[in-house]
Amino acid sequence: MDVLTWDGHNVNDTTNYISFLHHQAFGLPRVNAQSLARSGRWPIISGVERPGRVIFLEIIIRNLAQLAAKQAELQQWFDPEDETPKKLIVEDLGGGTGGGNDRYVYAICEELAAMPNDENNYTFVAQLRIHGDPLWRTAVEDDAWSITATAQTHNITNGGKADAYPFFYIRPTQSKTGGFAFKKFIPVRWPNNTGYVRYPTDI
């Protein structure tokens, strides 16, 4: 797989950076089997724990004329104190000649470390902990559905080989004009003897 972007930043443009993932990023994630002991018999598996997955992204700075600036740029992009998951997009070879299929995972950077024995600090390894599903997903992820009536259905084809679980984002396109079924009267005690108009009150 070829690395494309991290959080929208091109980390493999071959002019400023060359990046690649270490080989373990492409296997299946580890699980911990939980055993249930039985008297006089071998234990059986009662379930599995999913401890999470860590992958390693190696980044080499090519633009040595701006080494300090590029080091600072990487520290900004791969800030371990930023708790927001970022999208890592790669490209596989499934598209044949001229391009591949984009795949992505979400992750946070746990550590950005310089390679040992690299005195100039132009090679770094980002330790990325995957957020949520550790399997690489297709980057073509949006499927718009305009709902106009009750009992409508919409089919989505899973183009991959594994189970896929969608995320639903609902955006109303117009306001209701009536039929508000849920309302509740909440009395608010006003502690002042003087009344106010349009005074904000925290409820």
The closest alpha carbon to 74, from 8, 13, 126, belongs to 126
Half-sphere exposure of 40 (CA within 13 A, CB side): 0
Which residue would you say has higher pLDDT here, 41 or 142? 41
CA distance 9 to 21: 16
Query: In this predicted structure, what is the pLDDT of residue 196?
Result: 72
- Per-residue pLDDT of 18-68, as tens digits, reads 999 987 777 788 899 999 999 999 999 999 999 999 999 999 999 989 999
Q: What is the average pLDDT across 76-99?
A: 81
The closest alpha carbon to 128, from 106, 108, 113, belongs to 108
C-beta of residue 94 within 8 angstroms of C-beta of residue 130: no
Query: Does the pLDDT value for residue 95 go beyond 60?
Result: no
Q: What's the pTM value of the predicted model, to 2 decimals?
A: 0.69
The closest alpha carbon to 52, from 119, 113, 115, 133, belongs to 133
Query: Does the pLDDT value for residue 184 go beyond 50?
Result: yes
- Per-residue pLDDT of 127-136, as tens digits, reads 999 998 888 8
